[in-house]
């Protein structure tokens, strides 16, 4: 008798990550990880992203030890300083003014955990983004159109936000949106779930 694959859970409240994971055409459920995302003193953006991705996966896995759980997090890295979700229009203006004309690294981490199998692994997919030297009027037009207040660094590249940028460099094309699917597939295979076979 064939053993059925473990349940797959996305430990995230992000609609962007849910939509990305749906591209893999595998059944999964979504659960909020309830993790404190406050950076630790002096914590580098990449380390913060990896720590939170793993913490999110572990938090949900603790309630579903037989499931394979995906956690992910993204932190915008401006010259070593972490920039999170703005939450408000005013904070988004501040973020985009600080980033205009500069190179930002969007540190996107993914973790996969299955407690019953003793499996836990994570991967980091940095995305280098160069912002144009934006005018205040361009920033305002973009924010009113997109309202990206739930996006790290206020940058929503899958929409009008692409016009903020002069270049994107990444080896995992969906990482900037919030879930690096190439790395996610690799970790899922290691955990026993093959997106092309469900074996």
Exposure string of 162-180, with b = 16+ CB inside 10 Å and e = fewer, is eebbeeeebebebbbbbbb
Q: Which domains does the chain have, with CATH numbers?
A: 8-191 (3.90.950.10)
Q: Would you mind telling me the total number of residues written for the chain in this entry?
A: 199
Q: Please name the helix (run of DSSP H) or strand (run of DSSP E) that holds residue 52, with its range, or none.
A: helix 45-61
Nearest to 96 by CA among 41, 146, 47, 46: 146
Per-residue model confidence as pLDDT tens digits over 14-45: 899 999 999 999 999 999 999 998 999 999 99
Which residue in 66, 73, 136, 172 is the catalytic one?
A: 73
**73 noted as active-site residue:** yes
pTM here is: 0.90
Report yes or no: 21 and 70 within 8 Å, Cβ to Cβ.
Answer: yes
Per-residue model confidence as pLDDT tens digits over 72-110: 999 999 999 998 889 999 999 999 999 999 999 999 999
């Amino acid at each position: 008798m064939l053993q059925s694959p473990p349940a797959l859970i996305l430990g995230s409240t992000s609609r962007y990550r849910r939509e990305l994971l749906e591209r893999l055409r595998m059944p999964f459920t979504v659960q909020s990880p309830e993790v404190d995302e406050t950076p630790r003193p002096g914590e580098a953006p990449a380390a913060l992203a990896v720590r939170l991705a793993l913490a999110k996966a572990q938090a949900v896995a603790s309630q579903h030890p037989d499931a394979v759980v995906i956690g992910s997090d993204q932190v915008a890295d401006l010259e070593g300083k972490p920039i999170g979700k703005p939450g408000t229009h005013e904070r988004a203006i501040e973020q985009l003014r600080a980033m205009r004309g500069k190179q930002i690294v969007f540190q996107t981490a993914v973790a996969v955990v299955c407690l019953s199998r003793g499996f836990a692994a994570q991967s980091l997919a940095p995305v280098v983004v160069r912002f144009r030297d934006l005018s205040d009027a361009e920033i305002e037009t973009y924010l009113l159109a997109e309202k990206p207040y739930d996006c790290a660094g206020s940058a929503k590249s899958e929409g009008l936000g692409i016009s903020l940028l002069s270049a994107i460099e990444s080896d995992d094309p969906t990482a900037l949106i919030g879930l690096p699917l190439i790395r996610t597939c690799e970790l899922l295979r290691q955990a026993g779930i093959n997106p092309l076979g469900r074996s």
